[in-house]
Structure 1
């Protein structure tokens, strides 16, 4: 999974933050960039994100609305998986990652791992 470029990330942040599909004009209004990119630039990058599978596209009058096909969490999880894929020692990398977590997050991770193990054990017994 490739990391988003700067404008791609800003567009995805705008769409994720909206919680609904947006027209390109609405995306442009939500971008907090100085200088503001041109409408055509935002339209082009939005279309690229659609072709890459990150945005859905639906007709709305003469324009289109774009909505996320994947969540921000799915994107970040993919980046984390990509980082782990290049780690020489995945276990050491995971250990370092967990050591840097605040205690509450480490406890939540422990709980989620327990659920994943139980789910996997249940699927293995089928």
Structure 2
């Protein structure tokens, strides 16, 4: 996902509801200097990629994310793991990059999964 797509997704994820391109534009324009048509184009592309769903809202469309931010991040991690041959080595390198708190959290989650 490119920087502009991520900026749009961050807005719709944070809002959580259905948003028109004008609403997203209003939140992004001041910090990024984007044109309304640019925001609309990005939202249509995100819809075409399946990252946003849309419904008719008057004469325009409103958009809503098809997944939560955490669901999307988990899917990206799964896709990255699926692209390597040596999953064990990749996971080891990933764990090496985590701080102690994250490793402890993963350990607790694995234990909870084993007992459920």
**Is 1:110 paired with 2:110?**
no
Matched with 2:40 is 43
**Is 1:53 paired with 2:53?**
no
Gaps spanning 5+ residues in structure 2: where?
none
Matched with 1:123 is none
**Is 1:7 paired with 2:4?**
yes
Q: Could you tell me which of 8, 22, 26 is aligned with 2:23?
A: 26
Q: Structure 1 or 2: larger helix share?
A: 2
Question: Could you state the TM-score of these two structures normalised by the residue count of structure 1?
Answer: 0.79
Name segments (4+ residues, structure 1) moved above 6 Å: none
Gaps spanning 5+ residues in structure 1: where?
120-126
Aligned pairs, number: 114
Output the aligned Cα RMSD: 1.7
Question: Could you state the TM-score of these two structures normalised by the residue count of structure 2?
Answer: 0.85
